[in-house]
Structure 1
Amino acid sequence: MLSNIIRFAKNIVASLLAIFVCFGVLDFMWLGVIADGWYQSEMEPLLRSQFITWPWVVFYLMYGCVVFVLAVVANRDKSLLYAGIDGALLGLASYGAYNLTAYSIIEGFTLFIMFIDWAWGTCLTSASAMAGWLGFQLVKGKSSE
């Protein structure tokens, strides 16, 4: 019984770590390198001179845990594809809610940014869900040997 609890805890830690690393690395590459110019030029009048960090941290922790529950745990006994699909659907809904709302209420939030960020969030969440699924399966596979 205790060994099952320990094994499941290891699965959770490996999965969450994979989700956070994947999400953080890919989002940093996207926001800091690939799309930085787009966001800067399109949203310049809306950006703070100094970003506030704690909302990002809260979002990453909360969103990673939600990805874990809704895309990884829900598909732990299915193939990687299911985690990716559920991750994409979660990203489609959550980034869609953010971007559609921002576009509708923030003057200067452009249609270009709405669509590019929405598409990015969908892909990012799918990739993070698959990374989490792989982390979960890696530990699961090692413990069944």
Structure 2
Amino acid sequence: MAQAGMLYLVTAAVFLGLDMIGIRYIVRPVFERHVAALLASPLRIGPAAVFYLVYVAGVLWMVSLPALRVQQPAQALLGGMVLGFLCYGTYEMTNYATLAAWSWQQVAVDLAWGTVLTGVSAWVGVALISGRFT
């Protein structure tokens, strides 16, 4: 149990840290170009915190813990990327299908970011906890 708790903390820290950078420098500029009027100012911290807490728990349940059991960080990277693609893809494709102002550029940027972010966060967590950077 202690190992799972440490895995959660490491994965959450990596995910949050990278996402703060990614949102600021990669995602937000694209969203500002296309849907600036829809962006909350200030950011609603409560819903964001709920997302981070639950999403990272899902990453652990579906990706990181199975990869840790077999000591395979690369499995966490690939599984995390698949999960990130599915989750961020659901958000982006739903918005593109239903919101007139949504653009393919938003879809591409956020989908790529979520895919890489989830995979790298899962990989770093498993690699650090297992001691295997592969």
1:98 maps to 91
Unaligned runs of 5+ in 2: none
**4+ residue runs of structure 1 moved beyond 3 angstroms?**
none
- 1:88-141 Cα shifts (integer Å, max 9, x gaps): 010011111110001111221111001110011000000111122124314xxx
1:86 maps to 79
AA at the equivalent of 2:81: A
Tell whether the 8 Å contact from 1:15 to 1:131 is kept in structure 2 after alignment.
Answer: no
Aligned length in residues: 130
Q: Quote the Cα distance in structure 2 between the aligned partners of 1:133 and 1:80.
A: 5
Determine whether 1:134 maps to 2:113: no
The structure that has the greater radius of gyration is: 1
Q: 2:101 aligns with which of 102, 108, 124?
A: 108
1:59 maps to 51
Bigger drift between 94-103 and 78-87 goes to: 78-87
1:31 maps to 23
**TM-score, structure 2 length as denominator?**
0.89
Tell whether the 8 Å contact from 2:76 to 2:122 is kept in structure 1 after alignment.
Answer: yes
Q: Percent identity between the aligned chains? A: 26
Displacement of 1:29 after TM fit?
0.5
**TM-score, structure 1 length as denominator?**
0.83
